[in-house]
Amino acid sequence: MVIPKVFLISGMGADERLFRHLDLSGFEAIPVIWIEPQHDDTLATYATRLIRQFSIKAGDSVIGVSLGGMMATEIAKQLELKHVILISSIKSPAEAPAYYNFFKSIPMYKLLSGEFMIKASFLFKPVMGKMAGIHADLFYSMLKNTSPTFLKWSIGASLNWDNTIVPPNITHLIGDADKVFNYKRIKYAIVIRGGDHMMVFNRSKQISPIVREVLSK
């Protein structure tokens, strides 16, 4: 019996620990580790490199959170995946919040080093959702382990994402308390009541049955 493969792509400044509470029993869960970007990489070209690096193939499934959801969308444009599940993410710039356009036109992030962004990680806390104790420790641990080069590149690449194609077989989960991506701008999504941007971690019991049902189809 072949166990279905599910590739897990975390968000910006995060790693596979983000999925530690998601129930994927019965599936071969494969974490996709962020690799160093090339200078001219876009989300599309970076997705191509991830496909090659991790041998993602047609018929596999991919779960992406936040930036990982954008990457999953780009992978799905290149491969005919069985299932694509986006969590706390967007399918295209049309669903992005208004501040995307502001930071795209006034790219202040270019003035900051990746090292500084990591050291100033406390600035991310207000938008990530409620985190206490071990949850907060995990968030800061993941961010501090992120490559400064990757972090700065990923901000620019996501702001300049120009995707207009929504591949088939996408299931989109968004929380109505997400302060990064406003659920009201997201089309054709399952809205998780009370879910914030970290809901894959802190609301895994609520999300897991939905994810398992999709993957089992």
Phi, psi torsion values for 48, nearest 5 degrees = -60, -40
Task: Answer whether residue 135 shows pLDDT above 70.
Answer: no
The pLDDT score that the predictor gives to residue 112 is 65
Contacts 24+ apart (CB under 8 A), 16-21: 17/138, 17/141, 17/142, 18/65, 18/142, 18/198, 18/200, 18/201, 19/63, 19/65, 19/200, 19/201, 20/201, 21/201, 21/204, 21/205, 21/208
pLDDT in tens, 137-152: 677 677 778 888 998 8
Residue range(s) defining the domain that contains residue 31: 5-215
The number of angstroms, rounded, from the C-alpha of 199 to the middle of its chain's C-alpha atoms is 12
CATH of the domain at 36: 3.40.50.1820
> How many domains does the structure of the chain reveal?
1
In DSSP terms, 95 is beta-bridged to none
pLDDT in tens, 33-80: 999 999 899 999 999 999 999 999 999 999 999 999 999 999 999 999
- Of 100 and 75, which is predicted with more confidence? 75
CB 202 within 8 A of CB 196: yes
- Of 45 and 123, which is predicted with more confidence? 45
Split at pLDDT 50, 70, 90, the class of 128 is: very low
